[in-house]
């Protein structure tokens, strides 16, 4: 089973509240997360134990540039971020490097799988 992991505590909170159902990842990771896949949604730092929050279905996986993200992409990624510039600033803080509007990103929409 594949896992879609989130490190930031703010993302864990949004995932638990079900206000986050999309993630934007740097680079083309569409081969690692094919549309239609079932994954575990997990949280935890690199090289640390992970916590499984729930199982999810990958509804849509799209490769874009950072600058071509839509307001829908942004809102589902993080309801508090409503501009590409704000997301770039957030990513620069997370990745500790410069992010450009031309940088390739993968947008992954997911929904929780209910039941046993």
Domain ranges of the chain: 2-112
Phi, psi of 61 (to 5 degrees): -130, 115
52 membership: H or E segment, kind and range: strand 51-65
- pLDDT confidence band for 111 (50 / 70 / 90): very high
Q: Which fold has domain 2-112?
A: Sulfate adenylyltransferase (3.10.400)
Q: What is the pLDDT of residue 115?
A: 78
Query: Are the beta carbons of 81 and 90 closer than 8 angstroms?
Result: yes
**Torsion angle (degrees, nearest 10) of CA 95, 97, 98, 103:** -50
Q: Is the pTM of this model over 0.85?
A: yes
In this predicted structure, the answer to whether residue 9 has a pLDDT above a threshold of 90 is no
Instruction: Name the nearest CA neighbour of 3 among 51, 60, 47.
Output: 51
Residue count (the chain): 116
Helices marked H in 49-102 — which ranges?
A: 71-77, 84-95
At 1 the three-state DSSP class reads coil
Q: pLDDT per residue over 50-108, tens digit each?
A: 999 999 999 999 999 999 999 999 999 988 899 999 999 999 988 899 999 999 999 99
């Amino acid at each position: 089973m594949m896992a879609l992991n989130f490190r930031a505590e703010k993302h864990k909170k949004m995932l638990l509240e079900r206000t986050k159902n999309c993630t934007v990842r740097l680079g083309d990771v569409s081969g690692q997360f094919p549309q239609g896949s079932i994954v575990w949604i997990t949280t935890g730092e690199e090289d640390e134990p992970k916590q499984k929050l729930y199982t999810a279905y990958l509804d849509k996986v799209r490769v874009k540039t950072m600058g071509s993200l839509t307001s829908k992409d942004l809102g589902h990624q993080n309801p508090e971020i409503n501009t590409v510039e704000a997301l770039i600033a957030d990513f620069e803080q997370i990745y500790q490097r410069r992010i450009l509007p031309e940088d390739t990103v993968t947008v992954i929409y997911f929904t929780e799988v209910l039941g046993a």
